[in-house]
Amino acid sequence: MLIEQVQASDCYFLRESILRPGQPKENWTFAADHDPRTTHLAIKQNEEIIGIVSLLPEKNEAVSQHPWRLRGMAVKHELRGRGVGKLLLVALLAKVNEGVWCTARKNVQDFYLKNGFEIFGDEFVMNDMPHVTMKTI
Ligand SMILES: CC(C)(COP(=O)(O)OP(=O)(O)OC[C@H]1O[C@@H](n2cnc3c(N)ncnc32)[C@H](O)[C@@H]1OP(=O)(O)O)[C@@H](O)C(=O)NCCC(=O)NCCS
């Protein structure tokens, strides 16, 4: 398995099918997708993208030391639990020296907690799912 820097459009299939199934394109494309500072990483297996994550420049006034936002983290269902997500996350965090924040579905918060993030702020509901906001420690 190989981690590669890819284009935003290479991430669309897994973003839509895993994170926003049945939703319109504006829900699985991001304003900074084509910003030159943005990084999109993918892991491929036999030429097929099986995991993705993106890092976008986006400030959050609650965490001024964390100018980067992680979004669109997804691994194909049948390949989860094998370290693919962790590989992507570690590779992405190594791209920047500053802090990173994200919103995380509560059911996967432990994935981020195990990989250098902590929760800040209150829990909230988005797309009918409980979420937390997290930042690198
Ligand atoms: C979250 C996701 C990206 C994790 O990818 P993955 O390849 O399965 O994760 P890994 O195998 O690299 O797991 C790394 C560690 O996190 C833990 N972990 C992974 N998913 C977890 C979950 N849902 N709940 C609790 N712990 C989890 C693993 O047990 C592992 O722990 P270890 O290091 O102690 O062994 C993947 O489950 C996914 O795509 N989920 C659906 C989409 C989604 O919810 N994306 C995040 C939106 S915020």
Condensed to tens digits (0 to 9), the pLDDT of residues 47-89 reads: 999 999 999 999 999 998 999 999 999 999 999 999 999 999 9
What does the pLDDT average to over 108-122? 96
Checking if the pLDDT of 2 tops 90, the result is no
Q: Please report the pLDDT score of residue 60 as a whole number.
A: 94
Ligand 1: distance of its center to the CA of 105 in Å? 11
Instruction: Report the distance separating Cα 18 and Cα 37, nearest Å.
Output: 25
The ligand 1 site (C-beta within 6 Å) comprises 18-19, 73-75, 80-86, 104-105, 107-108, 110-111, 114
Checking if the pLDDT of 93 tops 90, the result is yes
Checking if the pLDDT of 14 tops 90, the result is yes
Instruction: Report the distance separating Cα 115 and Cα 7, nearest Å.
Output: 25
Q: Return the residue matching tokens 């924040």.
A: 101
Torsion of CA 118, 121, 122, 126, to 10 degrees: -80
What's the Cα-to-Cα distance from 99 to each of 16, 17, 57, 96, 116, rounded to whole Å?
27, 29, 11, 8, 11
> For a substitution probing ligand 1, which of 87, 108, 123 has the most ligand atoms within 8 Å of its CB?
108
Instruction: Report the distance separating Cα 3 and Cα 92, nearest Å.
Output: 10
Yes or no: domain 2-98 corresponds to CATH 3.40.630.30: yes
Q: Where are the domains of the chain?
A: 2-98
Query: Cβ distance 4 to 42 under 8 Å?
Result: yes
Checking if the pLDDT of 127 tops 90, the result is no
What does the pLDDT average to over 85-108? 96
Element holding 18 (H helix, E strand): none
Per the prediction, the chain carries an average pLDDT of 96
